[in-house]
Amino acid sequence: MAINAENRNNLQLKDARMTLYSLKASLKKQQHKGKGKEKANPESDIPPTVPTFQAFGCEDSTENIDISQLKKEARAKNRKLVFSGTDYGVCTMSATVPLTLDQYHAHVQLYNRFQVLGDRELQPMDTVVDPAFQVPTPHRITAKQLDVLSLAHKNARLRERRKAKHPQLLDAERQLKERSFKLAATSAEVEQCQKIARETRDILRGFYHSPRAHRDAWSQELATKRAYRQVAAKERAAIRHASGSRRSLVIMMIGTQGTGVGSRIKGHARRGGKKLRKEHSQHAVVGMTNEFRSSQTCMGCFGLVIRPKRKAVGASSKIRSVHGSSLCMNIDCPLYRTGRATQNRDTQAATCIALAGASFLLDGMTLHPFSKNSAMNHMLKKIITTPHTGNTESRLRI
């Protein structure tokens, strides 16, 4: 009888978990549905964001920002405009690349040569490259830097040291780890888990909610706010420094794809998100830019880049791709010619984001390689899907 009752309980537990899972899944589905509908709505009714000298800081999608007024005022007051591109990631939280107007024009010149007049037989490719074209030096922010500045690193170290002096606490945590609710398969095991949780509750509360712990948490919160402010200010200063004037007006292009939040990669603090962006939007124009093809396009020739391959260590037959870098195989590319065909992936992507955003704001049209709907992209897809012929072969060999 006792066995039957236990079996019934186990079945109930199984059913309850199943119901919870399906409820959560349907809730998630509903939320995604809502989001999709919002995106589908036309945004033509939204008035454009017009940054001016008086109201400079703002944040909007790049397509909805109008900088014509700002350009006029900057010219009148002899102030420079400087663009930047930011690519958020997990390993490097943020990589920002400055792009001055001269550099932008040098890139556009290269774009015209390679994409519009890109036939080797018609156009001599050995013409001199504009000296303004250069591989930018990125300004990087990592989660580790923020950990140190926000006292999270220090507090965690001190907490571990204090914990080592409490054998009771260590024992309680070990018990909870071994008897986790997630691992419980039967109702008897669930009850045992509950019992352990009740017994260890006071010990854990005594440590994690002590006055010392609250004090540390409060100081850490204040330090975190300060750290984000400092880091963002340094980033903007680096962009201004690249433009050669401390009075330059910064227009930041930030990629919309992911900020590292919710990443499941182990060992990386998940510190991305809106915080940095919000800090910037108080002192700069922030344009959220579509990252379409930004990590797959070369900043020199606007062709496709590939991930270099390497032999896996220890296994002679396996070939792996090197994820952190991008390689341009176009023999006419100025980067290839000067021995800089391999670039950092984040730098490459950030530069392309800056170019995509700046081209829209300055010329009213995103450069074709970064535009989702352009005719050029359809053509590019055609070339990739059909066998390579002639001079395109060297450019698209993958």
Question: To the nearest whole angstrom, how small is the minimum distance from the Cβ of residue 305 to Zn ion?
Answer: 7
In 3D space, the residue among 257, 258, 329 whose CA is nearest the CA of residue 292 turns out to be 257
Which residue number, 143 or 301, has a Cβ lying nearer to Zn ion? 301
Q: Which two tokens stand for residue 192?
A: 């045992």
Kindly state the helix (H) or strand (E) to which residue 85 belongs, with its residue range. Answer: strand 81-88
Question: To the nearest whole angstrom, how small is the minimum distance from the Cβ of residue 374 to Zn ion?
Answer: 19
Q: Which amino acid is at 126?
A: D
Does position 380 interact with Zn ion (CB under 5 A)? The reply is: no
Which residue number, 300 or 369, has a Cβ lying nearer to Zn ion? 300
Question: To the nearest whole angstrom, how small is the minimum distance from the Cβ of residue 342 to Zn ion?
Answer: 11
Question: To the nearest whole angstrom, how small is the minimum distance from the Cβ of residue 365 to Zn ion?
Answer: 22
Which residue number, 143 or 298, has a Cβ lying nearer to Zn ion? 298
Distance CA 345, CA 272 (A): 18
Mask for 246-285, x = binds Zn ion (CB under 5 A): ----------------------------------------
Question: To the nearest whole angstrom, how small is the minimum distance from the Cβ of residue 303 to Zn ion?
Answer: 5
Q: Which two tokens stand for residue 336?
A: 């290839």
Which residue number, 250 or 301, has a Cβ lying nearer to Zn ion? 301
Which residue number, 330 or 351, has a Cβ lying nearer to Zn ion? 330
Question: To the nearest whole angstrom, how small is the minimum distance from the Cβ of residue 124 to Zn ion?
Answer: 17
299-336: buried (b, 16+ CB within 10 Å) or exposed (e) per residue?
bbbbbbbbbbeeeeeeeeeeeeeeeebbbbbbebbbbb
Does position 369 interact with Zn ion (CB under 5 A)? The reply is: no
Q: Which of residues 311-350 bind Zn ion (CB under 5 A)?
A: 328, 330, 333
CA 61 to chain CA centroid, Å, is 16
Contact 287, 254 (CB under 8 A): yes
In three-state secondary structure terms, 249 is strand
Does position 300 interact with Zn ion (CB under 5 A)? The reply is: yes
Stretch that binds Zn ion, among 71-79, 180-188, 296-304, 312-320 (CB under 5 A): 296-304
Question: To the nearest whole angstrom, how small is the minimum distance from the Cβ of residue 115 to Zn ion?
Answer: 11
Does position 298 interact with Zn ion (CB under 5 A)? The reply is: yes
Which residue number, 99 or 328, has a Cβ lying nearer to Zn ion? 328
Does position 301 interact with Zn ion (CB under 5 A)? The reply is: yes
Return the sign of the alpha-carbon dihedral for residues 390, 392, 395, 398. negative
Instruction: Give me the residue label for tokens 């709505």.
Output: 41
Distance CA 334, CA 299 (A): 10
Which residue number, 252 or 301, has a Cβ lying nearer to Zn ion? 301
Query: Could you give the dihedral angle defined by the CA atoms of residues 279, 281, 283 and 285, in that order, rounded to the nearest 10 degrees?
Result: 150
Please report, as ranges, the residues that interact with Zn ion according to CB under 5 A: 298, 300-301, 328, 330, 333
